[in-house]
Structure 1
């Protein structure tokens, strides 16, 4: 039974990691879009 608990724990940890990673990449993508919009505004201002 201990092995099952350990596996469940590892699975949970892995899911948490995947969720955090997805959140991180989504946030990163959003920042990149924001930078792109900023560049567009600067180009239009010139």
Structure 2
């Protein structure tokens, strides 16, 4: 029983790590898009 719980705990820990990494990647992508839009908007306003 303890072994089973330990295996599930390890699986859950791995899942959580993957989820955090993916979430961070999504946040980074949004930040890049926001920066690109800001730059594009700044270029349009300066014309």
Partner in structure 2 of residue 17 of structure 1: 18
Which runs of structure 1 show a deviation greater than 4 angstroms over 4 or more consecutive aligned residues?
none
Alpha-carbon offset, residue 45 of structure 1: 2.3
| Unaligned 5+ runs, structure 2 | none
Alpha-carbon offset, residue 2 of structure 1: 1.3
Matches within 5 A, 1:1-46: 1-46=2-47
Aligned length in residues: 46
| Unaligned 5+ runs, structure 1 | none
Cα distance in structure 1, aligned partners of 2:20 and 2:42: 33
TM-score, normalised via structure 1 length: 0.88
TM-score, normalised via structure 2 length: 0.87
